[in-house]
Structure 1
């Protein structure tokens, strides 16, 4: 499998091992028959601290899922998502202008969430840009994946479904059970373990009343994956199947630092079903001290964090993405073998 940018330039990422980079070089000179050539776009709206990790996670999933398909992979970010100068330099030459979507003939699009700042979505600075992408994707893609906040924004824009604020952040790894048969969840063993990290939720009753089909849900975390067939097949993730094992830990440590810096009012809840029992005990003791003293130097005194040995996070993610790519490939003619002069 080869993941490429334009002009057959490989994605430079820790996700690609040296042997995989050599495969990309070989593709430049000799392209064997492929099941399909697909153009995939990633609109990465995650904050600067998670920008590279998010790109890497989706790159790995597409690479694991693609099989014998060749994927031209393009990264974008909404212009209204605020970026630091350092992030802009990092993105320069690797992230395309959002206006390029029209000329690239995107087969499938992935749109991530963003860090919320406003009380309601229409007040977010990126709202107009995001709703424009929702309308564009419905008319111009075969399928689009909406992740977390982007999923909440899409159902609000399309059907007026409002997310509900949770009493406490939903953070952890949850067993999610298949509740309907669908090509997207083919070959996946139920339950699948999926990371969730959000302050808001969508009600099952609101979604089903508006014609959305639920595919997976959790007794603890609620709705997980759901879909709706419009001109494009829209796929919605309330969770984060793309997360790697340490993603929730990074978010938890970030939230602790914000609490100690008095940038948030409440000490963050330990992600559920994530750390081992001894780590949870140590974190409970640390929380008591942090709430009593509440000063930044405490951030360097966190105990050693150990994840549960049976975490198995994102084990089903590559299968979900393989099924998604198969859907995008339906009706696409195979690529004939061609040889390029050296």
Structure 2
């Protein structure tokens, strides 16, 4: 089934060329099933790339999905035009009286800052508290996962000796949990960050379950026992070339960074990387939408409308 996104969103043209099933508003309103309404708080600097990555993964399910984008009002992104934000994004003040079936909170390249030093931390805390009553399930990615672990469960991040960048092997620890149903016992996933979280703290927390971890990259998937929060510390949504683009950017800045681990064929940056995590990413997002959003969300959220159509 399709995703319903604004007709002028730049990601639409790229996704249509990939034969992703997209739907116009006129056709969407004729569907008999109620669509899922997903809110995406996009904290990444290159917002259009992140939009494309997430929309692609959300499209691969039998469910009709309406997507709405959110940006912070207490910090203005420098890498996206104001016209793009005003046309396709809303602020928390504009949507706080609505309820959503699911929400995604993305990562942000600010993990070396203490949470309290982040310009929009107070706003993000307000949004995360709001999700407890207004969102059925929240998927947190990378720094967004670290923020959720810290805010909701008191687990802080810690600095790494060097940037963790590459594609790492992970082991599945609880293969019967619905989120990872059908995923391989051992699988690959990308990471790109300067901080990590403690596997021991997660395993010892009585409200959390560690679903998968890596000997070299640490915890990857964590779920709260009430199934309200899913935390993905890596970037399983990344496209094939995203780590290469980040590596080239860091080198151009003069940063002392290593070649992403296990990413380029023969560790040669001149060779195009192969995507070896795509199927796991599609399955993870499909499982989240089905088991934690669609199967759990009420058909009607009281008397309030979720979506204005």
TM-score, normalisation: structure 1: 0.79
Aligned with 1:145 (options 135, 139, 144): 139
Could you tell me how far 1:22 is from its partner in structure 2?
8.8
| Equivalent pair of 1:46/1:112 in contact (CA under 8 Å) | yes
| Equivalent pair of 2:240/2:273 in contact (CA under 8 Å) | no
Aligned with 1:324 (options 275, 278, 288): 288
Q: Per the alignment, in what secondary structure is the counterpart of residue 132 of structure 2? A: helix
Distance (Å, rounded) in 2 between the aligned partners of 1:185 and 1:119: 31
Distance (Å, rounded) in 1 between the aligned partners of 2:103 and 2:169: 27
Equivalence for 2:268: 279
Aligned with 2:257 (options 260, 268, 275): 268
Could you tell me how far 1:32 is from its partner in structure 2?
4.2
Distance (Å, rounded) in 1 between the aligned partners of 2:225 and 2:271: 42
Distance (Å, rounded) in 2 between the aligned partners of 1:151 and 1:22: 29
RMSD over aligned CA atoms reads: 2.5
- Whether 2:35 is the aligned partner of 1:37: answer yes
- Whether 2:239 is the aligned partner of 1:244: answer yes
Could you tell me how far 1:97 is from its partner in structure 2?
2.1
Distance (Å, rounded) in 2 between the aligned partners of 1:118 and 1:186: 33
Alignment of 1:107-122 (within 5 A): 107-116=101-110, 119-122=113-116
Q: Per the alignment, in what secondary structure is the counterpart of residue 241 of structure 1? A: coil
| Equivalent pair of 2:3/2:21 in contact (CA under 8 Å) | no
| Equivalent pair of 1:45/1:51 in contact (CA under 8 Å) | yes
| Equivalent pair of 1:121/1:127 in contact (CA under 8 Å) | yes
Aligned with 2:53 (options 57, 63, 70): 57
Aligned with 1:128 (options 122, 129, 133): 122
Alignment of 1:298-309 (within 5 A): 305-309=270-274
- Structure 1 residues without counterparts, runs of 5 or longer: 260-265, 281-304, 335-342
Based on CA coordinates, which of the two structures has the bigger radius of gyration?
A: 1
RCO higher in structure (CA 8 A, sep ≥6): 1
- Structure (1/2) with the larger helix percentage: 1
- Whether 2:151 is the aligned partner of 1:187: answer no
Could you tell me how far 1:179 is from its partner in structure 2?
0.3
Distance (Å, rounded) in 2 between the aligned partners of 1:85 and 1:316: 30
Cα separation, partners in 2 of 1:156 and 1:250, compared to 1, 3 Å: same
Equivalence for 1:199: 194
Could you tell me how far 1:169 is from its partner in structure 2?
0.9
Q: Per the alignment, in what secondary structure is the counterpart of residue 242 of structure 1? A: coil
| Equivalent pair of 1:192/1:315 in contact (CA under 8 Å) | no
Cα separation, partners in 2 of 1:273 and 1:18, compared to 1, 3 Å: closer
| Equivalent pair of 1:2/1:23 in contact (CA under 8 Å) | yes
Cα separation, partners in 2 of 1:45 and 1:29, compared to 1, 3 Å: closer
Report the number of matched residues.
Answer: 295
Return 244-253 or 151-160, whichever deviates more.
151-160
TM-score, normalisation: structure 2: 0.87
| Equivalent pair of 2:4/2:24 in contact (CA under 8 Å) | no
